[in-house]
Amino acid sequence: MAITLVNPSGLPEIGAYKQVAVATGSKLVFVAGQVAWDAEGRTVGEGDLAAQVEQCYVNIGTALAAVGGTFADLAKLTVYVVDWAPEKMPLFLEGVSRAAARLGGTPVPPGTLVGVVALDVPEHLVEIEATAVLDA
């Protein structure tokens, strides 16, 4: 595995992600921001943040698998959520948990969550982009 996740002493431990990812692999993978589209380009879970988060993670898993990677290879996630407010965190985490159950692992690389006004189309509530590192 090319990624080691670390929670250094002196930084808070956040259950949803680790604070640092150390990459030792040699193949960088940049996954475009994934939204809640299925393989046919239809929006999944319109109006349902948890369902859309789940689909975004499933899409990331699909993209990683296509290049020989898994969630264990993730070095960083950046999450954009429309009209973010802290009370949306339980729905966000529910979506992550559902995706983890489907994919067989919980993605916990360092992450950044950014509240935004809008995404590409009005029905999309979340977009997640990923960076992974694979051994060559």
Tens-place pLDDT, residues 50-62:
999 999 999 999 9
> Where do the H-state alpha helices sit in the chain?
49-66, 89-103
Residue 10, domain extent: 3-134
Selection from 40, 78, 81 nearest residue 60 by Cα:
78
pLDDT at 23: 84
Give the contacts of 83 (CB within 8 A, at least 6 positions apart).
115, 117
The count of structural domains within the chain is 1
SS3 33: strand
| CATH number of domain containing 43 | 3.30.1330.40
Relative to beta strand 74-82, strand 27-34 is unpaired
Report the half-sphere exposure of 30 (CA within 13 A, side-chain side): 1
Answer whether residue 136 shows pLDDT above 80. no
